[in-house]
Amino acid sequence: MDDYISRQAAIDAIKETPIYVTLNYGIGAFPVVSTETALNQIVDLPSADVVEVVRCRDCIRYDTHDKRCRYWNHGVGVDLNGFCSKGERRTDGEIH
């Protein structure tokens, strides 16, 4: 499985860490590619097709008292780390 990262996080990492290689000529280290080239390569990468998952424990439909989902018929019990396509993130202070 691929790891999905923030494009901005990758850009920030490149800006903070220059890329160098030491040559065997004894004259020091030189950039392999320019930081600008590396940044352009990241910016040009296609976006991943991902969707944010709302875990049951964070969903507005999860009833913490009964440990059940209020969306599904018969209020099925759910795994706190579970999720479904109907998940909506609860805001702080929202009664659940």
Q: Are residues 62 and 89 in the same domain?
A: yes
**Is 66 inside a domain boundary?**
yes
**Is 2 inside a domain boundary?**
no
Question: With 70 as the cut, is the pLDDT of residue 71 above it?
Answer: yes
Contact 62, 78 (CB under 8 A): yes
Question: With 60 as the cut, is the pLDDT of residue 49 above it?
Answer: yes
- For 47, phi and psi rounded to 5 degrees? -75, 145
Q: Is 61 helix (H, G, I), strand (E, B) or coil?
A: coil
Give the count of domains, the chain.
2
> What is the pLDDT at residue 43?
86
Mean pLDDT, rounded, of the chain:
77
- For 89, phi and psi rounded to 5 degrees? -65, 130
Highest mean pLDDT among 23-32, 33-42, 52-61, 63-72: 52-61
The residue ranking higher by pLDDT, 27 or 49, is: 49
pTM: 0.48
Question: With 80 as the cut, is the pLDDT of residue 10 above it?
Answer: yes
